[in-house]
């Protein structure tokens, strides 16, 4: 998670300037949108937009067709669609203009330069959302969801972010909190009304309530793992000896799944990442340099990197050359991946003999083994099936809530669960109810932090620090 | 009358009394204006001081240098610590008091005050110049020039008493209400509301068969409220417990249409936590019986107060119903129960100093702020007086926050959240409850009392000495070790071998400080409160430390101050509702802003962002 930044990077929101930024991910998709927000958004847009209407007043929320021109030279940069949003009914709550371009990064960059020359300022990461929040357009959980939505790398992810934007996570937490506060009421009653002949709840009943809430919280906590995958992708590292066929498998998978999302060549390290969309979830494949036993320093650094990479992975594909069998380096690899989630892929099924493959299967000593051929595609379907069933099967898992849980949520949920456990322990130890109540109160506060019902300063800066530009 | 007073205290009830005493001790010249000097310090309802969470208030008043604890100890005839089977945070002291003695001691305390004039009159109007209070005007026509005034009118403003269909203008039975003042205040712009409270019948003890009831004795030894009461307290009376029954409920149900609570005659809102007997019978119809406590009114009287039987039913119905109760077959009334309806001023109209936002130098304290109970009233009287005197002397406001005292919790609740029924203190209102205990009230507040000039030097030094001894004793327990082999087997939960420190032993639930001498024969425990403080601090160390960590967190938002006169209209993005509420409540800091009902986390975040971004997080400002 990024370091929280002080809020003053956004300047004085009481006296806002006009900001602009690219609202769509760079280098993706058919169109690119530039958003302009602030008191000078309308006049600035009128200056650069040449369409049927000279003035944008009275045209709020209408899509207008025209050219985006450089006012200096009057040369049209692109044919665009322009949508003005008059304040306060806009994303940020200020005057907003959105320009839809034909997506070329060069054109978008040039358009930004023109707007900046016209008096706008390039938006800081998260600044649009900050302004939306500042103008009361969205609350905290919604603000985070926007970040997730824009960042969403697949449909599943977009759906979850959208649900959160609609406030469902908030509702769920609020219900839990209400249940908790009801239980707290039972305890408080016995402390404050000792002399009344009231019937107090029994320890068991209070314990049941605490445990039921703790369970529901862990359902939400579990969603974190999925959320992380939904947001950042399931990280699969491909490892194996240099000539085992890692790269062919890598290329085969990428070629097979056409919906490549992004491509980040690992220039600073010996790994190559690719995003692939599998069953609606982003999967990040990382190709490693491979393990080779050597005394040379450079190679050692490479191995360290590989080890780091392994610990950041959700899953490891260990590619073994079926026609050769396990090498000494493979045994090294085997040591490395022990106790990590991994599957052995016995490659080159097209050239290896049945006997060789059987021998290999015995030697790899892993629970999950699939025989494949990266050359012919044999076994790849089976691999994808295995992958979706075992690692991306969230839709049918009812123990996991359909929300995007980010790290801030997770910390608060875990803290709440810890307090519930302490409360339960106090209950079991027959501590007086006010001690049990102490931790229940704390648990309720933790839940409140998620929905922003209690908002320490650091929550805010943490949230706004995690935005990317243009949202 | 040409005299000028620093402070006029209007009303001689529990709020007024503490206010007069504090203001006078702080050196102000004070006029106490009360309709009936013989009724100063009267206990309108039950003959007891303290009780759950109220005991905490009394201890806090005592620590700050107020008088209620001393008075209750002197007039006390039975002492009891409630909730003793629970943890120390919810232990609450209560004393049954002799009603007449209490009044006499209050009267004596007030009459001995220097620079204080008692005026028997009733205030009917106030004069305001440039938004500032300048004079009070009495029924007899006097115009008294004052620097400031504390209005502590109790249940007397436009008060009506109901017993059955009979309603009489009165503040208490046989006492004239104050008519006109609340209308004048309303004309000045104050919002006035209406609340209701009730009191049960007083009965003649000679007509009771106590053999059919359960005796409720006091604690042995009894414990005083005040650190100033040097052990001169005694249990001299007993309380009795009996229960209502179906026959009693039947009589009430048959006559329910004669209750002014149910036939629409009473419009004020009553307290949910202290329902009348007719309320209990109707709303909790499934309960076949309710507890009744008979409390003695005093030593030289047979009168008893029937706690739990508050009622505004006609006298004949009350009597018939009560006669169905075991032990009360021949009961005779000294006075029936009644309900009283009165004006109050929704307390969100006050600053946390209890000064009104509308009129400078006018303070409100006690039941007119929508509270209920002697202790709640007394605490407000004390705080209003300290603030009134401080302001006259250009000293900073005295505000206790929610982590420092129940008094802080109460006043914050009143001025931030307001009330929708008579407000009484509960321990559950205090989120920092594990820290706000009776045993450490002096530790929390004596320093403040001393700085206000209410705690004399000698007492302040004694307080310092007490906590030095507590610390020394804690150290001694930490150092003194005892071999586990010599520890009696009944303390089974001890598993450690070798030797353990005495403080280690004290953490075992069933081992108490006074037992340590029995375990380690070389150890002599200290008698009294020091040993108790040591035991609480060691036994509950884990929770206490966690509570203190919470308080640290709480203080962060509390320390982000909102500048006085901050204009919310300039803040963009604020919801209209939030803007209206912030402007009306005028929170002092971000923490208080967040506690306003209907304010969301987003509103507060927005406010914080705005204060932060525009660099307007101001220095500590005067209220």
Mean pLDDT of B542-566: 88
Catalogue the E-assigned strands of A112-160.
121-122
Where does residue A426 rank: exposed (0-12), middle (13-18), buried (19+ CB within 10 A)?
buried
Answer whether B389's CB lies under 8 Å from B148's CB.
no
Does B559 contact A at CB distance below 8 Å? no
Q: Is A134 on the interface with B (CB under 8 A)?
A: yes
- Are B273 and A193 inside 8 Å of each other by CB? yes
Instruction: Work out the angle at residue B221's Cα, subtended by the Cα atoms of residues B219 and B227, and round it to the nearest 5 degrees.
Output: 105
d(CA A347, CA A343): 12
Residue-level pLDDT at B309: 94
Quick check: A344 contacting B, CB < 8 Å?
A: no
- Share above pLDDT 70 across residues of chain B, in percent, rounded to a whole number: 96
Query: Which CB contacts under 8 angstroms, 24+ apart, belong to A249-254?
Result: A249/A317, A249/A319, A249/A345, A249/A347, A249/A372, A249/A374, A250/A274, A250/A285, A250/A287, A251/A374, A252/A374, A252/A377, A252/A380, A253/A285, A253/A380, A254/A285
* Domain ranges across chain A: 7-139, 168-227+406-451, 233-391
In order, the DSSP letters of B234-258 are -----EEEEE--HHHHHHHHHTGGG
Q: How confident is the model at residue A421 (pLDDT cuts 50, 70, 90)?
A: very high
Cβ-nearest to A14 among B86, B427, B613: B613
Same domain assignment for residues B230 and B322:
yes
Cβ–Cβ gap A195/B82 under 8 Å = yes
What pLDDT does residue B245 have? 95
Q: Which of residues 205 through 234 in chain A touch B, CB cutoff 8 A?
A: none
Query: Would an 8 Å CB–CB cutoff place A188 in contact with chain B?
Result: yes
Average confidence (pLDDT) over B210-223 = 94
Radius of gyration of chain B (CA): 26
Backbone angles phi, psi at B292, to 5 degrees: -125, 130
Tell me which of A191, A418, A449 to substitute to probe the interface with B (most B C-beta atoms closer than 10 Å). Answer: A191
Q: Is the peptide bond before A88 cis (omega within 30 degrees of 0)?
A: yes
The model's pLDDT over B142-155, given as tens digits with 9 standing for 90+, comes to 999 999 999 999 99
Beta bridge partners of B93: B81
CB contact under 8 A, B553 and A453: no
| pLDDT tens track for A112-170 | 889 988 988 887 666 787 787 777 677 666 666 666 655 555 555 556 665 665 567 77
Same domain, residue pair B332 and B368? no
Structural domain count, chain B: 4
Last residue within a domain, chosen from B452, B473, B502:
B452
**B65 & B206 share domain:** no
Task: Verify that B361 and B328 share a domain, yes or no.
Answer: no
How many CB atoms within 10 Å of residue A224?
21
Find chain A residues with C-beta within 8 A of B602's C-beta. Answer: 133, 136, 138-140, 452
Q: Residue B600 has what pLDDT?
A: 74
Q: Does the CB of B165 have a partner CB in chain A at under 8 Å?
A: no
Interface of B with A in 579-598 (CB under 8 A): 594
What does the block give as tokens for A431? 């501590």
| H helix or E strand, kind and range, residue B541 | helix B541-558
pLDDT for res A2? 35
Q: Indicate whether B104 and B220 sit together in one domain.
A: no
Does B428 contact A188 at a Cβ distance shorter than 8 Å? yes
pLDDT at site B330:
96
Q: In CATH, what number is assigned to the domain containing residue B609? A: 1.10.150.570
Calpha distance A43→A56 (Å, rounded) = 8
Interface size, chain A vs chain B, as Cβ–Cβ contacts under 8 Å:
126
Both B346 and B326 in one domain: the answer is no
pLDDT of residue A108: 80
Min CA distance, A163 vs chain B (Å)?
A: 19
- Residue A393 clears pLDDT 70, i.e. is over it: no
pLDDT tens digits, B521-530: 888 998 888 9
Query: Which residues of chain A lie closer than 8 angstroms to B295, CB-CB?
Result: none
Averaged over A82-88, what is the pLDDT? 92
B604 and A8 within 8 Å at the Cβ level: the answer is no
Per-residue pLDDT reduced to its tens digit, B185-208: 999 999 999 999 989 999 999 999
Give which of A145, A438, A463 to mutate to test B binding, by max B Cβ within 10 Å. Answer: A438
Cα A22 to Cα A105: distance, rounded to the nearest angstrom: 10
Tokens for B456? 């004399």
Examine the fold and report which residue of B498, B530, B550 is the final residue of a domain before the chain moves on. Answer: B550
Contact B490, B508 (CB under 8 A): no
- In chain B, what is the straight-line distance between the N-terminal and C-terminal CA atoms, in Å? 32
In a domain, B457, yes or no: no
- In Å, how far is B359's CA from the nearest CA of chain A? 32
* CATH placement of domain A233-391: 3.40.50.300
Domain end among B408, B424, B452: B452
Residues B433/A434, Cβ–Cβ less than 8 Å = yes
Closest by Cα among B218, B206, B199 to B305: B199
The DSSP string of B129-183 is: ETTEEEEEEETTS-EEEEEEEEE--TT-BT-EEEETTEEEE-SBTTB--B-SHHH
Query: Could you read off the pLDDT of B447-485 as tens digits, one per residue?
Result: 999 999 999 999 999 999 999 999 999 999 999 998 887
Element (H, E) at A166: none
B78 with B109, same domain: the answer is yes
pLDDT at residue A155 in the model: 55
Range of the domain at B486: 463-550
Give the model's pLDDT for residue A210. Answer: 94
Structure-block tokens of residue B247: 């026959």
Chain A environment of B403 (Cβ under 8 Å)? none
CB-neighbour burial class of residue B598 (10 A; exposed 0-12, middle 13-18, buried 19+): exposed
Contact call for residues A82 and A49 (beta carbons, < 8 A): yes
Strand-pair partners of B82: B92
CB-count burial class (<10 Å; 0-12, 13-18, 19+) for B620? exposed
Looking at per-residue confidence, does A188 or B455 come out higher?
B455
Select the CATH number that applies to the domain covering A168-227+406-451 from these four: 1.10.10.10, 1.20.120.430, 3.30.70.20, 3.20.19.10.
Answer: 1.20.120.430
Nearest CA distance, B499 vs chain A (angstrom) = 25
| Residues B387 and B296 grouped into a single domain | no
Contact B563, B618 (CB under 8 A): yes
Tokens of A230: 């939904």
Sort strands B4-10 and B143-151 into parallel, antiparallel or unpaired. parallel
Q: Which of A8-12, A206-210, B431-435, B497-501 is predicted least confidently?
A: A8-12
Q: Name all contacts of B315-319 with Cβ < 8 Å and 24+ positions apart.
A: B315/B163, B315/B164, B317/B164, B317/B251, B317/B252, B317/B255, B317/B258, B318/B201, B319/B201
CATH entry 3.30.1360.120 includes domain A7-139: yes
Residue B81's DSSP bridge partners are: B93
Q: The domain spanning residue B500 has which CATH number?
A: 1.10.10.1800
Q: What is the pLDDT of residue A1?
A: 31
Strands (E), A350-429: 369-371
pLDDT tens digits, one per residue of A290-319: 555 555 554 555 667 777 778 878 899 999
Task: Give yes or no: residues B494 and B576 share one domain.
Answer: no
Same structural domain, B185 and B215: no
Contact of B557 with chain A, judged by CB distance below 8 Å, is answered with: yes
B5 backbone dihedrals φ, ψ, rounded to 5°: -110, 150
User: Are B52 and B158 part of one and the same domain?
Assistant: yes
Question: What does the alpha-carbon distance between residue B548 and residue B550 come to, in Å, rounded to a whole number?
Answer: 5
B333 and B263, same domain (yes or no): yes
Inter-residue contact B375 to B54 (CB < 8 Å): yes
What distance in Å separates the CA atoms of residue A169 and residue A220, rounded to the nearest whole number? Answer: 9
């Amino acid at each position: 998670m990024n370091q929280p930044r002080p809020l003053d990077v956004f300047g004085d929101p009481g006296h806002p300037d006009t900001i602009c930024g690219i609202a769509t991910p760079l280098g993706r998709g058919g169109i690119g949108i530039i958003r302009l927000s602030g008191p000078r958004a309308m006049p600035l847009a009128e200056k650069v937009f040449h369409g049927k209407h000279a003035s944008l007043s009275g045209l709020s929320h209408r899509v207008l067709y025209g050219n985006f021109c450089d006012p200096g030279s009057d040369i049209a940069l692109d044919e665009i669609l322009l949508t003005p949003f008059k304040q306060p009914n806009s994303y940020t709550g200020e005057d907003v203009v959105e320009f839809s371009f034909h997506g070329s990064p060069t054109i978008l960059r040039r358009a930004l330069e023109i707007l900046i020359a016209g008096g706008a300022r390039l938006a800081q990461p998260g600044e649009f959302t900050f302004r939306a929040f500042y103008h009361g357009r969205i609350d905290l959980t919604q603000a985070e969801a926007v970040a997730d939505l824009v960042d969403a790398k697949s449909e599943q992810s977009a759906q979850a972010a959208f649900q959160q934007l609609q406030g469902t996570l908030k509702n769920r937490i609020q219900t839990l909190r209400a249940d908790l506060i009801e239980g707290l009421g039972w305890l408080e009653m016995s402390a404050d009304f000792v002399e009344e002949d009231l019937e107090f709840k029994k320890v068991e009943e209070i314990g049941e309530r605490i445990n039921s809430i703790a369970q529901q919280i862990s359902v939400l906590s579990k969603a974190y793992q999925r959320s992380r995958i939904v947001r950042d992708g399931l990280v699969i590292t491909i490892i194996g000896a240099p000539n085992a066929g890692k790269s062919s498998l890598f290329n085969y998978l990428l070629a097979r799944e056409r919906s490549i999302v992004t491509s980040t060549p690992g220039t600073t390290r010996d790994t190559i990442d690719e995003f692939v969309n599998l069953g609606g979830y982003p999967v990040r494949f990382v190709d490693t340099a491979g393990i080779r036993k050597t005394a040379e320093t450079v190679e050692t650094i490479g191995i360290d990197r590989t080890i780091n990479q392994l610990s950041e992975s959700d899953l490891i594909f260990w590619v073994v050359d079926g026609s050769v069998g396990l090498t000494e380096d493979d045994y090294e690899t085997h040591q490395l991946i022990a106790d990590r989630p991994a599957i052995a892929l016995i490659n080159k099924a097209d050239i290896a003999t049945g006997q060789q493959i059987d021998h290999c299967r015995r030697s790899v000593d892993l629970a999950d083994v699939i025989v494949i051929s990266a050359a012919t595609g044999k076994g790849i379907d089976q691999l994808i099936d295995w992958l979706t069933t075992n690692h991306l099967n969230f839709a049918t898992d009812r123990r996991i809530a359909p929300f995007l849980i980010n790290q801030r949520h997770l910390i608060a949920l875990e803290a709440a669960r810890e307090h519930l456990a302490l409360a339960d322990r106090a209950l079991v130890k027959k501590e007086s109810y006010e001690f049990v109540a102490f931790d229940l109160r704390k648990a309720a506060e933790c839940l409140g932090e998620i929905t922003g019902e209690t908002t320490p300063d650091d929550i805010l800066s943490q949230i706004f620090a995690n935005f990317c530009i243009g949202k | 009358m040409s005299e000028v007073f620093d402070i006029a205290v209007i009303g001689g009830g529990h709020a007024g009394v503490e206010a007069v005493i504090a203001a006078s001790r702080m050196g102000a010249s004070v006029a106490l204006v009360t309709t009936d000097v013989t009724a100063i310090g009267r206990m309108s309802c039950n003959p007891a001081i303290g009780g759950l969470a109220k005991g905490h208030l009394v201890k806090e008043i005592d620590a700050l240098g107020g008088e209620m604890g001393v008075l209750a100890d002197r007039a006390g005839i039975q002492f009891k610590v409630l909730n003793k089977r629970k943890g120390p945070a919810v232990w609450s002291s209560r004393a049954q008091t002799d009603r007449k003695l209490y009044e006499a001691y209050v009267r004596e305390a007030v009459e001995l005050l220097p620079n204080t004039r008692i005026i028997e009159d009733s205030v009917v109007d106030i004069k305001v110049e440039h938004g500032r209070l300048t004079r009070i005007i009495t029924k007899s026509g006097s115009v008294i020039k004052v620097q400031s005034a504390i209005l502590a009118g109790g249940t007397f403003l436009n008060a009506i008493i109901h017993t059955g269909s009979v309603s009489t203008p009165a503040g208490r039975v046989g006492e004239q209400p104050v008519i006109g003042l609340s209308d004048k205040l309303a004309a000045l712009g104050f919002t006035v509301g209406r609340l209701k409270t009730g009191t049960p019948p007083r009965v003649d003890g000679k007509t009771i068969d106590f053999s059919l009831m359960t005796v409720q004795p006091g604690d042995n030894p009894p414990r005083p409220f005040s650190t100033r009461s040097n052990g001169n307290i005694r249990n001299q009376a007993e309380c009795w417990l009996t229960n209502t029954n179906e026959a009693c409920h039947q009589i009430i149900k048959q006559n329910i249409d004669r209750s002014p609570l149910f036939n629409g005659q009473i419009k004020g809102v009553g307290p949910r936590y202290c329902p009348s007997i007719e309320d209990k019978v109707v709303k909790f119809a499934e309960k076949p019986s309710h507890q009744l406590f008979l409390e003695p009114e005093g030593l030289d009287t047979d009168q008893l107060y029937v706690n739990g039987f508050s009622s505004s039913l006609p006298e004949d119905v009350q009597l018939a119903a009560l006669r169905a109760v075991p032990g009360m077959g021949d009961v005779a009334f000294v006075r029936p129960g009644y309900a009283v309806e009165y004006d109050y001023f929704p307390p969100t109209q006050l600053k946390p100093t209890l000064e009104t936002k509308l009129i400078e130098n006018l303070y409100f304290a006690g039941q007119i702020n929508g509270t209920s109970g002697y202790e709640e009233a007394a605490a407000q009287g004390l705080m209003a007086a300290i603030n009134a005197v401080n302001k006259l002397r250009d000293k900073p406001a005295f505000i206790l926050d929610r982590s420092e005292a129940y008094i802080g919790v109460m006043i914050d609740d009143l001025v931030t959240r307001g009330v929708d029924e008579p407000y009484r203190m509960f321990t559950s209102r205090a989120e920092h409850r594990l820290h706000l205990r009776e045993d450490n009230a002096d530790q929390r507040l004596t320093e403040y009392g001393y700085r206000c000039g209410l705690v004399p030097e000698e007492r302040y030094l004694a307080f310092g000495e007490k906590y030095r001894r507590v610390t020394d004793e804690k150290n001694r327990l930490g150092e003194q070790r005892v071999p586990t082999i010599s520890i009696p087997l009944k303390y089974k939960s001890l598993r450690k071998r070798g030797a353990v420190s005495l403080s280690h032993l004290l953490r075992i639930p069933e081992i108490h400080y006074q037992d340590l001498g029995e375990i380690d024969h070389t150890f002599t425990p200290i008698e009294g409160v020091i040993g108790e403080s040591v035991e609480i601090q060691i036994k509950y160390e884990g929770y206490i430390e966690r509570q203190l960590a919470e308080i640290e967190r709480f203080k962060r938002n509390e320390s982000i101050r909102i500048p006085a006169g901050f204009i919310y209209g300039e803040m963009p993005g604020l919801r209209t509702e939030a803007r209206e509420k912030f402007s009306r409540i005028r929170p002092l800091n971000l923490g208080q802003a967040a506690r306003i009902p209907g304010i969301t986390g987003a509103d507060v975040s927005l406010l914080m962002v705005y204060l932060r971004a525009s660099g307007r997080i101001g220095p500590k400002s005067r209220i």
